[in-house]
A and B are shown apart, each in its own frame.
Chain A
Amino acid sequence: MAEAILEVRGLHKHYPLTRGVVFRKQVGAVRAVDGVDLDLVAGETLGIVGESGCGKSTLAKLLVQLERPTAGVIRYKGEDITKLSGRALKAVRRNIQMVFQDPYTSLNPRMTVGDIIGEPYEIHPEVAPRGSRRQKVQDLLHVVGLNPEYINRYPHQFSGGQRQRIGIARGLALQPEIIVADEPVSALDVSVQAQVINLLDKLQQDFSLSYVFIAHDLSIVRHISDRVGVMYLGRIVETGKDAEIYDHPTHPYTQALLSAVPVPDPTAREHRERVLLSGDVPSPANIPSGCRFRTRCWKARERCATEVPLLAVPAVFRGEESPAAHDSACHFAEAKRVVPAEGA
């Protein structure tokens, strides 16, 4: 594999739960991110999927250092950015930008589009000298497919899809190398979603960007990602190339997740096997011992309650050349196809 531009090792973010006002003491912790390892290779898209509460948005905030981790390292080109502060951190942030989910709340309603997209230049004036900013912003508007004449309009004058384009333009302003996109299309209508996904694809090629693409929609993640990580309760439970995860999942959670996605093909409903999970996701303040998925898993045995499964190629597939031989944190991993092959 090519060298990673971003390396994450043992990343944790715990939010303390406290009791008492005067004698405040910690009574527990919400373990939002609880030991994440991942690598992002230059020019690729790493998709992170998971259900609500799995910690994927906290992970996004950690990657851009909007949140400081409780433990673990994030290395950008070999340098641990979690230890940086002040000027050094600012310099790194220029290269790692974020696109947010909700285009309605992530744009300041009292600022014009020109000011919103140009604001990063106030913080990093070295990127664009004052005189050239207006031109730069107009170029960016053009790049994301908006009319450059809209520079003086306000966010409310735009539709959801157009606002998301503004958010993307703001993310691009500093010519970053990495963009962390947290659910960038989930607030958009289907027909507009496709436009924004295509735009993200095109920008990646034009500016050789690396993406961390976080979403709950498995179909969209497959479409856009080169590699995929599946997250459950603060940890990545399975990771691999897109075809490995979607066509040869070995972790029971991934299998359940994939089998639950409705496929827009009514003929599929007859011969599709559903793995229905029972119950809800446990609270991240009270994570089960051993394997964190065991409380909802149909394969769980005693070993799962005592021994934490590591994210590695499972023993049964080790040394094999098969697509099932990818990292999966399950003691009893087995390959199972749950998404019917095309035309099957």
Chain B
Amino acid sequence: MTAATPAPLLEVRDLHVEFRTRDGIAKAVNGVNYRVAEGETLAVLGESGSGKSVTAQAVMGILDMPPGRITGGEIVFQGRDLLQLREDERQKVRGREMAMIFQDALSALNPVLSVGEQLGEMFVVHRGMSRKDAKNKAVELMDRVRIPAARERVGQFPHQFSGGMRQRIMIAMALALEPSLIIADEPTTALDVTVQAQVMDLLAELRRELDMGLILITHDLGVVADVADKIAVMYAGRIVESAPVHDIYKAPAHPYTKGLLESIPRLDQKGQELYAIKGLPPNLVRIPPGCAFHPRCPLARDVCRTDVPPLYDVPDGRGSACHFWQEALHG
């Protein structure tokens, strides 16, 4: 456990992001707040369209604008609001201070450059190193992420590596300049389970070694349980529940989290019928009024259809955006 809240490394305050689409304005992020301390792992959990990746892209400053637009909020990183920085200042933060690992390594890497050139580029651009030194650095990094025969493979191209090895290269690239924050967006979703385990272990170990903050974006409740310190669950562009990792699995305080936990089959037990959250995630152009989850919620009452629930304080430093969190927690 980390000591009582030191100054956070990153604090996202009331972030709003919209996208212009053919059907109207899609409200992808609607007032997200989260903080990550140094050396802490925050898992952001959500289904597709929950806004988990968009939030991360806004933090990294790689949101496609247009059609995207940040309509409000602050992203305070090491004491500075990133949204107030000029693009060239932002550029310096990216890569050096925070880096991102993407889901699909094959499309995130440049197919016509060798992996050595791509890894070395970090050092040439940010550190002004010579090509030769940069190449040595690249080999060093590949060793560090345990790619066998790094010196021989440094000149190879991304397609010559397997999926797991490519994801290691992505990790190496993110770690190159030893940033203080890593954002990993579904880093193992495209990988097989045995390879996923190798990659997650590596990521967790390097994070510990370098004492970095990590934001892990995922839809997989299993991966979260393995590595996270705390969790933020997102639904329709909002955080609906936040808590230390142990508490949320033991006693979720939001009916959506509860539904998610009950709807996954377990490896260690054979259940009868699975609990299924009824209905579908909302269309972001027409988010339901009041609590966005109310059409699918077993606890929904009149107030849920009209009043947007704030993130209520739940004992032990948790939060739940449900008018009836007590019922969800104890019921």
Question: Hey, which bits of chain A sit against chain B, CB under 8 A?
Answer: 51-52, 159, 161-162, 189-195, 197-198, 201, 216, 218-220, 222-224, 242-243, 246, 256-269, 274, 276-277, 280-281, 339-342
- Pairwise interchain contact B280-A265, C-beta atoms closer than 8 A: no
Bound CA–CA A265/B275 (angstroms): 18
Tell me if B221 counts as interface (CB < 8 A to partner A).
yes
Q: Are B264 and A194 in contact (CB under 8 A)?
A: yes
Contact of A261 among B193, B259, B260, B273 (CB under 8 A): B193
Footprint of A on B, CB under 8 Å?
47-48, 162, 164-165, 192-198, 200-201, 219-226, 228, 245-246, 249, 259-261, 263-271, 273-278, 280-281
When the two chains form their complex, are residues B276 and A195 in contact, meaning their CB atoms are under 8 A apart? Answer: yes
Check B196–A339 contact: CB distance below 8 A. no
Bound Cα distance from A218 to B267, whole angstroms: 7
* A169→B81 CA distance, assembly (Å): 52
Query: Given A194-B263, A194-B274, A339-B268, does the pair A51, B194 have CB atoms closer than 8 Å?
Result: yes
Query: Contact between A277 and B194 (Cβ–Cβ < 8 Å)?
Result: yes
- Known A-B contacts A191-B260, A222-B267, A246-B267; the reply to A265 vs B274 at CB < 8 A is no
Say yes or no: A264 contacts B221, CB within 8 Å: yes
Complex formed: what's the CA distance from A266 to B41 in Å?
14
Contact: B246 with A266, CB < 8 Å?
yes
New contact pairs (11) apart from A194-B263, A220-B265, A262-B222, CB-CB < 8 Å: A52-B192, A192-B280, A193-B264, A197-B274, A198-B274, A242-B270, A261-B222, A264-B264, A265-B249, A276-B201, A342-B268
A contact patch SS = helix
B197 touches A263 (CB 8 A): no
Given contacts A189-B47, A198-B276, A339-B268, whether A262 and B226 have CB atoms under 8 Å apart is yes
* Residue of A189, A222, A242, A262 with most partner-chain B CB within 10 A: A262
Q: A197-B265, A266-B245 are in contact. Are A189 and B270 (CB under 8 A)?
A: no
Question: Which residues of B have CB within 8 Å of A193?
Answer: 263-264
Residues of chain A within 8 A of B267, CB atoms compared: 218-219, 222, 246, 258, 261, 263, 339
State the CA gap A257–B195 with chains docked (Å): 10
B268 with A276: CB separation less than 8 A: no
Which of A52, A263, A264 gathers most chain B CB within 10 Å? Answer: A264
Contact of B193 among A191, A218, A267, A280 (CB under 8 A): A218
**Contacts known (A190-B219, A261-B193, A280-B164); A267 close to B271, Cβ less than 8 A:** no
- Identify which of B194, B195, B276 contacts A194 (C-beta below 8 A): B276
Please name the residue on chain A nearest to B274 by beta carbon.
A194
Are the C-beta atoms of A159 and B246 separated by less than 8 Å?
no
7 contacts between A and B (CB under 8 A): A51-B192, A51-B195, A162-B280, A190-B219, A257-B193, A264-B221, A268-B225
**A residues less than 8 Å from B195 (CB atoms):** 51, 280
CB atoms of A263 and B225 under 8 A apart: yes
Q: Which residue of B lies closest to A340 (CB)?
A: B268
A274-B197, A280-B195, A340-B268 are contacts. A191–B47 as well, Cβ < 8 Å?
A: yes
Chain B's closest residue to A278 (CB) is B198
Q: Chain A residues near B47 (CB, 8 Å)?
A: 189-191
> Nearest 9 pairs between A and B by C-beta?
A262-B222, A223-B265, A194-B263, A260-B197, A51-B192, A194-B276, A264-B221, A189-B47, A191-B277
Question: Which chain B residues border A339 with CB–CB below 8 Å?
Answer: 267-268
Cβ 8 A contact of A219, one of B194, B264, B276: B264
Residues of B within 8 A of A51 (CB): 192-195
Return chain B residues, CB-CB under 8 Å to A256. 194
Question: A192–B48 Cα gap in the complex (Å)?
Answer: 11
Looking at the assembled complex, report how far the CB atom of A266 sits from the nearest CB atom of chain B, in whole angstroms. 4
Given A198-B276, A242-B270, the answer on whether A264 and B281 have CB atoms closer than 8 Å is: no
- Among B192, B221, B267, B273, residue most surrounded by chain A Cβ atoms (within 10 Å): B267
A256 to B192, CA, bound (A): 12
* A201, B194: Cα distance in complex, Å: 28
B222: which A residues are within 8 A, CB to CB? 219, 261-264
Contact B259 A191 (CB under 8 A): yes
Task: Considering the complex, give the chain A residue whose CB is closest to the CB of B165.
Answer: A280
> CA separation between A266 and B162, bound complex, in Å?
30
Q: Which residue of A has the minimal Cβ distance to B268?
A: A339
Contact residues in B for A260 (Cβ distance below 8 Å): 193-194, 196-197
In the complex, how many angstroms separate the beta carbon of B3 from the nearest chain A beta carbon?
20
Q: B261 contacts which of A192, A216, A264 (Cβ < 8 Å)?
A: A264
CA of A190 to CA of B219, assembled, Å: 8
Contact of A159 with B280 in the complex, beta carbons under 8 Å: yes
A26 CB, min distance to chain B CBs, angstroms:
25
- Closest CB in chain A relative to B150 CB, distance in Å: 15
Q: How far is the CA of A195 from the CA of B277 in the complex (A)?
A: 8
Expressed in whole angstroms, the Cα–Cα distance for A333 and B184 within the complex equals 38
Inter-chain contact A223/B274, CB cutoff 8 Å: yes
Question: How far is the CB of B148 from the nearest CB of chain A, in Å?
Answer: 8
